[in-house]
Homo-oligomer: A and B are copies of this chain.
Amino acid sequence: MSKSYLDIIKIKSNKCFNGKQNVYKHFSKSTDCEMTFSVYFPNNYENKNVSVLFFLSGLTCTHENFISKAGSQALADELNLVIVAPDTSPRGVKIDGDDESWDFGTGAGFYLNSKAKVWSKNYNMYDYIVNDLYETIFYNFNLKDSKAGILGHSMGGHGAIMIALKNPDKFQSISAFSPILCPSKYPWGIKAFSNYLGDNKDDWAEYDSSILITKSKEKRAILIDQGLDDEFYKTELGTDDFEQIANQIEYPITLRRHEGYDHSYYFISSFLKDHFEWHKNQLR
């Protein structure tokens, strides 16, 4: 396989609704390994005024969870959206400890660039998403005139908000389901940040949305949906802390709490239409 991330290989293609659900591989310089990603194309998208949405998945997921479980294709077809869903970590790089736990290492890249020696060669999902994948999508699929938004779930909600806050020119609309909003304060984030980044809290702040919003000049609106029966709501996500900070600095968030919904794809699928329409409106 070629060593340029712009060279992609299509490994799967399924007609779905009127478009195509495709899966590709390419070599990423940032992660120094082959990465898999999926793209849904509405039928005849080249001749339509499409927007591009990047969906970042949560812990343990691959490029496949979102495209098989969220019911996204019906909506993307209807709303003329190209949907990109990447993997959540490097794969097959075989670092000691990368497969020991479900919340760290493989399937848990946390969308950051690692600093700790053993991880920093491969665990650079931030650069992968923002540079390699972004350029691959816009270069390969004739999407140069399209705008892009970003959304995600749980760890991917953290990734989406954090990446959008740091790259307002690349991603112009933002939303998240059950996102990790204060990773520096709760166990999943602390485990990831301390192992990938080391002890310097300044490095952590670079990837913590609850800190990044206080520095954001653009104050672009964020839609967040949170289930109240989500077992991780109080212990991992920092939703209430984030809301308090946003309110203090008058950062525009639309945070909706939903009775009875949990952390699963059953929750995501229930409100995905609202999110796609939110992005469609923001990108208009």
Binding site for B on A (CB under 8 A): 14-17, 21, 68-69, 71, 73-74, 227, 229, 260-262, 264-267, 269-270
Contacts and interface: CB of A to CB of B under 8 A. Distances in A.
A270 B71 contact: no
Contacts of A269: 16-17, 71, 73-74
Nearest to A268: B16
- The 7 lowest CB-CB distance pairs between A and B, nearest first, are A71-B71, A16-B266, A14-B266, A15-B260, A15-B261, A17-B270, A68-B69
Query: Mostly helix, strand, loop or mixed at chain A's interface?
Result: mixed
A74 B262 CA distance: 17
Contacts of A270: 15-17, 73-74
Contacts of A15: 227, 229, 260-262, 266-267, 270
B74 A14 contact: no
A97 to B, nearest CB: 30
A266 B266 CA distance: 18
Nearest to A77: B270
A264 B23 CA distance: 15
A68 B68 contact: yes
26 contacts: A14-B262, A15-B227, A15-B229, A15-B260, A15-B261, A15-B262, A15-B267, A15-B270, A16-B266, A16-B267, A16-B269, A16-B270, A17-B269, A17-B270, A21-B266, A68-B68, A68-B69, A68-B265, A71-B71, A71-B74, A71-B269, A73-B266, A73-B269, A73-B270, A74-B269, A74-B270
A269 B74 CA distance: 8
